[in-house]
Amino acid sequence: GLNFIDLMVRQGNIDNPPKTPLVPGFECSGIVEALGDGVKGFEIGDRVMAFVNYNAWAEVVCTPVEFVYKIPDDMSFSEAAAFPMNFVTAYMMLFEVANLREGMSVLVHSAGGGVGQAVAQLCSTIPNVTVFGTASSFKHEAIKDSVTHLFDRNADYVQEVKRISTDGVDIVLDCLCGENTGKGLSLLKPLGTYILYGSSNMVTGETKSFFSFAKSWWQVEKVNPIKLYEENKVIAGFSLLNLLFKQNRGGLIKGVMDKLLNLYTNKKIKPVVDSLWALEEV
């Protein structure tokens, strides 16, 4: 799978990237070629998808068994390579962190991205959930069916959202960072949750720029804890890779994958594959 985080790594915009030469990639699908001693539940020849702590863009990949999942019979390898990261991230933010329930509303930035599309699809599995999305206009056609209200990413979405829902939204999912934090918090209803899960505004152009990183960081208005208390608002952060590889929550993620694969089998969700590339073209 090729995800936004891979571009961050490629541009050096993440903390402590491994020393080069390195093989990028955090998720893959394929066929089990060999098993470690005492590995149960899998056999050579099984079709699987997996999380990997780097090194996924390779012909042979090695990863602990707790990060490996069987692919449903009707799922293609390319769908499987696009499935774990986006859907687990979206699911955990919506249901584990923000407690999405019937009748709620969600604002998601980058609605055309992998996580954004997964968020919109998962919201449609709960009755009566309204999804507000921002995306570049060229992506609108592809996602218009799963997003209730779609805005151009450069539009004044705060006014647009308030015009439709005067008291704001229950959940804001923000992968942009920078100047959107204050706007997102201002749109939250009481007991609403604002989740920061990435930082696309911190990537600019072809080269890494520490100054653009610092600048966008300083644009984040300082969040006042007393104000959060007075307004009954929740602000949270989410990093799937840290949860998997630094905080040892593989078991929790396995439970989430089971639920997601069940939704896939029942035709409620489906990964969107943008394009396929030969390994030598990567």
Tens of pLDDT, residue by residue over 117-143, are 999 999 999 999 999 999 888 888 878
The pLDDT assigned to 176 comes to 62
The overall average pLDDT reported for the chain is: 88
Global pTM value = 0.91
Model confidence over 246-261: pLDDT tens digits? 999 999 999 999 999 9
- Weakest-pLDDT range from 58-67, 75-84, 160-169, 190-199: 190-199
Band (199; pLDDT cuts 50, 70, 90): low
Q: Which of 273, 199, 279, 271 is nearest to 7 (CA)?
A: 199
For the ranges 39-53, 66-80, 159-173, 200-214, the lowest mean pLDDT is seen at: 200-214
- The residue ranges of every structural domain in the chain are 85-241
What pLDDT was estimated at residue 205?
45
Question: Residue 204: its pLDDT value, please?
Answer: 46
Q: Is the pLDDT of residue 55 over 80?
A: yes
CA distance 94 to 91: 5
Question: Is 107 a residue whose pLDDT tops 70?
Answer: yes
What was the pLDDT predicted at 19? 82
Whole-number Å distance between alpha carbons of 279 and 281 = 5
pLDDT of residue 249: 92
Instruction: Name the band, by pLDDT with cuts 50, 70 and 90, for residue 206.
Output: very low
What is the CATH topology of the domain spanning 85-241?
A: Rossmann fold (3.40.50)
